[in-house]
Amino acid sequence: MVQSPSQSNVPILNIITFEEGTWDLRPDQIHLQNPSGQEAEIKRFSMDTGIEDEPYLTPYLKVQGDSFIGLDLEGDFQNFGELQRVYIDLGDSRFELQAVDCLDFEGIAERINQVNFDSPDVREDYAVLQIQLMGRRVARPRF
């Protein structure tokens, strides 16, 4: 979660996939809860196009295997300066993310920027750079 120039909260999501496949992702599959248990309503995804103030906005993404993507989440996050719980339902899995403070995030992001994503086995870079996997992957609940 970062603050925009207008002082509003903006969640940033980076997805790195390590296996083959293709998955549909919609805003209602991403769950952000604040400490009081309120869940944010995410309306769409915003991706930087390289043109100032002209992001690409979409309510749907096709996530590709063995790839990475970074995006902002758009919605009302006024009461979400701090997050209690974050999880993402993708395919048959639920990814329960672990919150980290800003300094830890910066250190992790710096090491992830050193990963060679064209490598045949990106996991080797994670081991060499001592990047620990955090959070949990569990089966996605069926309702």
- The DSSP bridge partners found for residue 108 are none
Q: What percent of the chain has pLDDT over 70?
A: 100
Domains of the chain: 2-99+135-139 (2.60.40)
Q: What percent of the chain has pLDDT over 90?
A: 45
- Answer yes or no: is pLDDT of 93 > 90: yes
Q: How many angstroms separate the CA atoms of 49 and 57, rounded?
A: 10
Question: For the segment 36-67, what is each residue's pLDDT rounded down to a tens digit?
Answer: 999 999 999 999 999 988 999 999 999 998 88
